[in-house]
């Protein structure tokens, strides 16, 4: 019976011709090239000399490969780029960590408990997502200067955490809310406390959501520009690479080979992070789409 059923079901399967597969692969490669071409040009440009970059008509493949560009670019500015790279790593890592430390308990409590003002709280959290650091950067600058935090890493860590907290809270709230309450009740009947239910029962179930919040928060903090330009203006050595990049842009000339090189270095950590947790990220983005 099973064999007969499988045989009858096979008539509903539409075979894919080799030509159709080739067209799909070709279309996929074309789309990939459209998105990757700017990065390829940037990578090849980082190995050119400034004279070759400014040549008309421009060349696509470097006529002479200047591998030393990636060595000399670290010391050609007044502010050493290693300091800027360290700032990027410290600010993005700690901002992401602080966001998760606050967002996880907040999302858990709002998803599992009903309390007065719950909807108002969630609305205020959502409202902060509508603001960007560039809109309130002047007020933030004055506030951190009055607190003695102007020009410090902590200022940017707090700013990045605050403006990414709403996203982390909302996405984790939906994950915690999707866990059946019977799961928590069973754990409590076995003697688990609220913290044990959160860390040992619910956290493994919402891991895709945590990964999603992590990657988006880290990327946003890594690429932040407007607030860093103003808040860290008093100490250029603490500015991230996104701001330090403009030290290669002058009034009369731009050293594009170094701009391209620093840009390539700046995107490598994000690429590595995506590669490490890509599977969990996809699971987090598609969770809840099928019941």
Q: pLDDT tens digit string along 178-211?
A: 888 888 888 888 777 878 888 888 888 888 888 8
Q: Are 223 and 15 a contacting pair, CB within 8 Å? A: no
Q: Which residue has the higher pLDDT, 273 or 145?
A: 145
**24-36 tens-digit pLDDT:** 778 888 888 888 8
**pTM of the predicted model as reported, rounded to 2 decimal places:** 0.78
**How large is the C-alpha radius of gyration of the chain?**
25
Strand, coil or helix: 29: helix
Residue with tokens 């990964």: 211
Output the CA angle 111-159-176, nearest 5 degrees: 15
Q: Which residue has the tokens 């099928």?
A: 290
Q: pLDDT digit string (tens) for 33-67?
A: 888 888 888 888 888 888 888 888 878 888 888 88
Per CATH, the homologous superfamily of domain 76-286 is MetI-like (1.10.3720.10)
Structure tokens at 160: 């990045």
Write out the residue limits of the CATH 1.10.3720.10 domain(s) in the chain.
Answer: 76-286
Cα 126 from Cα 276, distance rounded (Å): 29
Instruction: Check whether 216 has a pLDDT greater than 50.
Output: yes
For the segment 138-158, the average pLDDT, to the nearest whole number, is 86
CA torsion angle 208 210 212 213 (round to 10): 160
- Count of residues making up the chain: 291
Both tokens of 255, joined, read: 């050293």
Is the preceding omega at residue 57 within 30 degrees of 0, hence cis? yes
């Amino acid at each position: 019976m099973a064999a007969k059923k499988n045989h009858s079901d096979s008539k509903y399967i539409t075979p894919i011709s080799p030509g159709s597969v080739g067209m799909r692969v070709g279309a996929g490669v074309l789309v990939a090239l459209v998105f990757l071409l700017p990065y390829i040009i940037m990578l090849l440009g980082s190995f050119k000399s400034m004279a070759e970059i400014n040549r008309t008509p421009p060349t696509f493949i470097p006529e002479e490969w200047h591998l030393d560009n990636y060595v000399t670019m670290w010391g050609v500015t007044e502010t050493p780029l290693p300091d800027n790279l360290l700032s990027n790593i410290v600010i993005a890592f700690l901002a992401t960590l602080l966001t998760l430390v606050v967002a996880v308990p907040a999302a858990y409590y709002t998803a599992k408990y009903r309390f007065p003002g719950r909807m108002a709280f969630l609305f205020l959290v959502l409202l902060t997502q509508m603001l960007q650091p560039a809109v309130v950067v002047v007020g933030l600058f004055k506030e951190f200067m009055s607190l003695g935090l102007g020009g410090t890493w902590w200022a940017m860590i707090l700013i990045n955490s605050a403006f990414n907290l709403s996203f982390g809270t909302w996405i984790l709230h939906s994950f915690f809310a999707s866990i059946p309450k019977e799961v928590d009740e069973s754990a409590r009947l076995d003697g688990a406390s609220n913290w044990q239910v959160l860390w040992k029962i619910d956290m493994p179930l919402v891991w895709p959501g945590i990964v999603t919040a992590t990657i988006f928060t880290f990327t946003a903090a890594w690429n932040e520009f407007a607030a860093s330009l103003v808040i860290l203006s008093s100490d250029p050595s603490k500015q991230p690479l996104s701001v330090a990049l403009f030290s290669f842009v002058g009034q009369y000339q731009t050293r594009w080979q170094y701009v391209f090189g620093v840009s390539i270095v700046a995107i490598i950590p994000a690429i590595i992070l995506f590669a490490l947790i890509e599977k969990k990220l996809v699971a987090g983005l598609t969770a809840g789409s099928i019941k």
